[in-house]
Amino acid sequence: MIFKLKPMVAAISFTLCSYSMLVAAEPEHGKPENEEAAVGVENAATWYRAGQEALKEAKHLHANERRAKNVILFLGDGMGISTVTASRIMQGQMQGRDGEKNSLTFEKLPYVALSKTYSTNQQTSDSAPTMTAIVTGVKTNDGELGVDQAVARDEKDNAVIQAHKLTTILELAKARGMATGVVTTARVTHATPAALYAHTAERDWEADSNLPAGATVKDIAAQSVDSFAANKGMDVLMGGGRTYFMPNTKFDPEYPTVKGRRKDGRDLTAEWQTKFNGKYVWNKAQFDAIDPANTKSLLALFEPSHVQYEADRVARDGAGEPSIAEMTDKAIDILKKNQKGFFLMVEGGRIDHAHHAGNAYRALTDTIAMDDAVKKAMEKTDLEDTLIIVTADHSHVFTIAGYPKRANPILGTVVNPGQTTPALAADGMPYTTVSYANGTGYHFLPVGGDTSYSEPIQAGRVVNLATVDTEDQGFHQEALVPLSSETHAGEDVGVFAGGPKAHLLHGVREQNYIFHVMKDALGL
């Protein structure tokens, strides 16, 4: 008697038999000899096995229902999904490995969600309302920090601000007696870090010299000191923005022609040391000399404005400044001395700035630098008692497109599978894998980053990229719509989490939901 398998059964049998043969045939150690050596040996067996291993790992996941002792919130400013993907590929390629298969450290966290980033008055928002939503649990208007949406932007009356003031996760943690800290590569008075401690209707009121006439609300820098006087202040505040803390009668210690921005005569760096029994540093040598064991609180301001991009940090800063990973390392060592636990926010702030300038190289290298900080935090803490969340406030109009072959340089021009020369667009010129929907457009500058703002806008296809090294750090990608600065984008951003109550971060959520998970995890 002859039996015929039903089509589906036959297909399954063939798949399993094929898989068994492929596994048997696959060499244990193979050295790829093709031009895409970084990819390694792949066949049906390797993909099938990888899927089975991932499934096995997923089945061992269990919800951690413990109360968190610590919470570390990482915020990649402007770190949209396309930025994460491109950074993952670039990191792998920089290390001579398979970029596509590579994973950033935070991508290995077990729980992932999506966050809706609109504000109460804009589809595509800025960092002030998005970070306010993340750290207070309430959405608000663009440009506003720590107040609800009933407040008009530029409201000068402090009585109105206080009436609509929102309490942040950092303020709740501080009130409990926990240690608190903020680390950023932007100014510490910039929108994202300021959202943790400041309450104002205008994110740009960073120093008193920025306040309009008649304003009774305090500037953001002053709030970093005055708002915490009763319970002895934040334990760590690190980043840039030194001149916002200095009187305009003093010169900057690193740049002798630069003066402070404060008109009120206050030296907030001195006040920090007096009020909080703290220490103040402004360069790498001073930072390295800080002993966490005998440091109660630390104010570290490494630049008059934002700190250097990671790509420029060593080469362009004579006084030196630590990496975001080094700042995170030191911050945790100071904060963990508190037996009641700690809350720490770490921002990769210059990811956003590089995107605005149309310089993908610095946006991606700063993302990788922040990932190094996540790795350091995971090494120094235990996910059994520490909730780690990595997310973004918003995205950017940064895209990955074309049909480049596997292992093609992520910053390179598109080379199609099976080809060795760049693919040509309809205008007869090559094009890059990554580009921007708007912005200043193509530039090739000896010093990258924000220097593009001093150049004329060059949107569109203004040069034949066949003669341009698109992987160079000075290359600024092409843009479609001519604008003086590339803009944010409105799509959802990722939320990556591990630790106590991390399983509550799942699905597509409103951005303010993140606060409620952190609050619940800490039992506040």
DSSP string, 2-29: -----HHHHHHHHHHHHHHHHHHHS-SS
Clarify whether residues 414 and 508 are in a common domain.
Answer: no
Clarify whether residues 269 and 315 are in a common domain.
Answer: yes
DSSP string, 125-171: --HHHHHHHHHHS----TT-BSB-TTSPTT---HHHHHHTB---HHH
Tokens of 187: 């100014």
Q: Can you give the pLDDT at residue 281?
A: 98
User: The domain spanning residue 377 has which CATH number?
Assistant: 3.40.720.10
231 within domain boundaries? yes
The mean pLDDT values, 10 residues at a time, for the chain of 524 residues are 33 34 34 52 94 96 97 98 98 96 98 98 98 98 98 97 98 96 98 98 98 98 86 90 98 97 98 95 98 97 97 87 98 98 98 98 98 98 98 98 98 98 98 98 87 93 97 97 98 98 98 98 96
Rounded Cα gap, residues 144 and 131, in angstroms? 10
Catalytic annotation, pick one of 115, 119, 127, 297:
127
Q: Can you give the pLDDT at residue 449?
A: 80
Q: Can you give the pLDDT at residue 25?
A: 34
Rg (CA), the chain: 25
Q: Can you give the pLDDT at residue 16?
A: 34
Q: Can you give the pLDDT at residue 228?
A: 74
Task: Identify whether 87 is a catalytic site residue.
Answer: no
Residue 68 CB contacts under 8 Å (≥ 6 apart), including other chains: 341, 385, 386, 387, 499, 500, 501, 521, 522, 523
Q: How many other C-beta atoms lie within 10 A of the C-beta of residue 454? A: 8
Domain assignment of residue 257, given as a range: 70-397+487-522
Q: Can you give the pLDDT at residue 231?
A: 61
Clarify whether residues 303 and 417 are in a common domain.
Answer: no
User: CA 450 from chain center: how many Å?
Assistant: 18
Clarify whether residues 481 and 496 are in a common domain.
Answer: no
Q: How many other C-beta atoms lie within 10 A of the C-beta of residue 32? A: 13
Rounded Cα gap, residues 67 and 80, in angstroms? 30
User: CA 140 from chain center: how many Å?
Assistant: 21
Q: Can you give the pLDDT at residue 450?
A: 87
Clarify whether residues 333 and 447 are in a common domain.
Answer: no
- Determine which helix (DSSP H) or strand (DSSP E) holds 515, and give its type and residue range: helix 513-522
SS (H, E, C) 412-441: CECCCCCCCCCCECCCCCECECEEEEEECE
Residue type, 159: A
Clarify whether residues 275 and 412 are in a common domain.
Answer: no
Q: Can you give the pLDDT at residue 38?
A: 64
12 within domain boundaries? no
Clarify whether residues 474 and 387 are in a common domain.
Answer: no
Q: Is the distance from CB of 246 to CB of 269 less than 8 angstroms?
A: yes
